[in-house]
Chain A
């Protein structure tokens, strides 16, 4: 029973991170119909930036902010320079470009920061809260993880629902041509969308790194889990991405806790295939028909 509780709690905080990462994928997918396979590498890169700042003696929070800002800039630059030319082209070309970025960012990170494992600090304690005589696997840092993901999600909802720029971004995502006819600078909105998504991805990268080891490939699994979560929720549905992320977090936590951590990625693959074959629109997508 205690193990079950612990595995569940661990799954929830991992799931929150996957949810953030899936949300970042969905933001980009909705705006440009591209899955950014480079998102994990980009997040890894900004996390290293934070690590360098921390090792130079700056505070965790300064590094945290710098990484998010770095993600914002990186996302915008990537969209402008290499994604713009393949937007609206054959799907395969865009996929290959993001895969190229995936490899390139990892190599650059290894060049600049080394390819060995380094430990990344956490701003809050990593020992579990005590409930009665038990110590549960829910730490102050887990609370921070879930809290920051919730804050970011509420922020995004507010941005898209209640602000003019959010409305323009949604219009650009849903119907570029009509948006242009209404005077919206669609290109700018797409850049902004990539920037925001990359910042959210960076947050996920930082949260996963907290209290753990980082190396240039540490986000490889997360891109898979985030993708599975996004597909599970329906790639068009931000709410679905969040639920999908939590479900995947829980499911993988159970697999890891009861079967073995080596099987986690394969379990993710099994879930993905099952979802795509049984309910290709995801659990929450409203789209009537979609080619998967």
Chain B
């Protein structure tokens, strides 16, 4: 595995991903209303909120699957606002969509190769196939199997591995805990935290499961009805009883 990222110097350079005053509408419905979110490099930033708060729309707008009507998306210095999804992916935003986004008709290795093909364009890629097989041995065992045959937890590992191979500057994860047993969620979150600590990965983590998310996050934003209602470091958010009861459900 490649060198450790110099987290300290990166933090001084400002956010890895910055979303400024983003507004997204579906027809007459405003799903995101002037949302500002920053993900600092080498950290896990959680985006929390109830169902329908706009969390998924936020990720889909960042990655270009949905067109924002106002505001901007910056990856470091690069303006990605309203770029096509494939260009945003090539710029280094790896979006693992809700429902995981495994291509079930392809084999495990073919899924991974797709990430690898994208990563091969980047000079600074950190992960290669062998690395992710080390990280997730279960995938190595099933590399020739169709992804359809994987369990939910294995699928989540597969899409994270695939995203890592693509050499992301920022990893967007949409509800990775959904439908998984707590034990497996803990394991996946543990691996995620390790990667961030060890390699300086930047993660924007969307979760309804606020308790688990805050347990590994460095900072958090709370969305409600398309607006940011709170933004602080993870510990502060977790300690705010009022906020927890009103928006986070624990």
Contacts and interface: CB of A to CB of B under 8 A. Distances in A.
A181 B95 contact: yes
B97 A170 contact: no
B105 interface: yes
Contact of A171 (B65, B114, B121): B114
The dominant DSSP class at the A interface is helix
Contacts of B64: 180
A183 B90 contact: yes
Contact of B115 (A177, A180, A182): A182
Interface in A173-206: 174-175, 177-186
A174 B105 contact: yes
Interface magnitude class on chain A: 10 to 19
B86 interface: yes
B145 to A, nearest CB: 14
B89 A180 contact: yes
A181 B63 contact: yes
B85 A178 contact: no
Interface magnitude class on chain B: 20 to 34
A83 B103 CA distance: 25
A181 B106 contact: no
A174 B89 CA distance: 18
A251 B131 CA distance: 53
Contact of A183 (B101, B103, B118): B118
Contacts of B114: 167-168, 171, 179, 182, 184
Contacts of B166: 182-183
Contacts of A164: 113, 117
B55 interface: no
Interface string B89-131: 1100011010001111110001001110110010000000000
A82 B115 CA distance: 32
A180 B121 CA distance: 16
A170 B103 CA distance: 10
A174 B86 contact: no
A198 B106 CA distance: 25
Contact of B86 (A167, A170, A175, A185): A185
A133 B195 CA distance: 77
Contacts of B86: 180, 183-186
A46 to B, nearest CB: 31
Contacts of B193: none
B117 A181 contact: no
A182 B96 CA distance: 9
Interface in A51-102: none
B162 interface: yes
B170 to A, nearest CB: 13
Interface in B30-63: 63
Contact of B106 (A171, A177, A186): A171
Interface of B: 63-65, 84-86, 89-90, 94-95, 97, 101-106, 110, 113-115, 117-118, 121, 162, 166
Question: Closest 4 A-B residue pairs measured CB to CB?
Answer: A183-B89, A180-B85, A183-B118, A178-B101
28 contacts: A167-B110, A168-B114, A168-B117, A171-B103, A171-B114, A174-B104, A174-B105, A175-B101, A177-B65, A177-B85, A178-B97, A178-B101, A178-B102, A178-B103, A179-B114, A180-B84, A180-B86, A180-B89, A181-B63, A181-B94, A181-B95, A181-B97, A181-B101, A182-B115, A182-B118, A183-B121, A185-B86, A186-B86
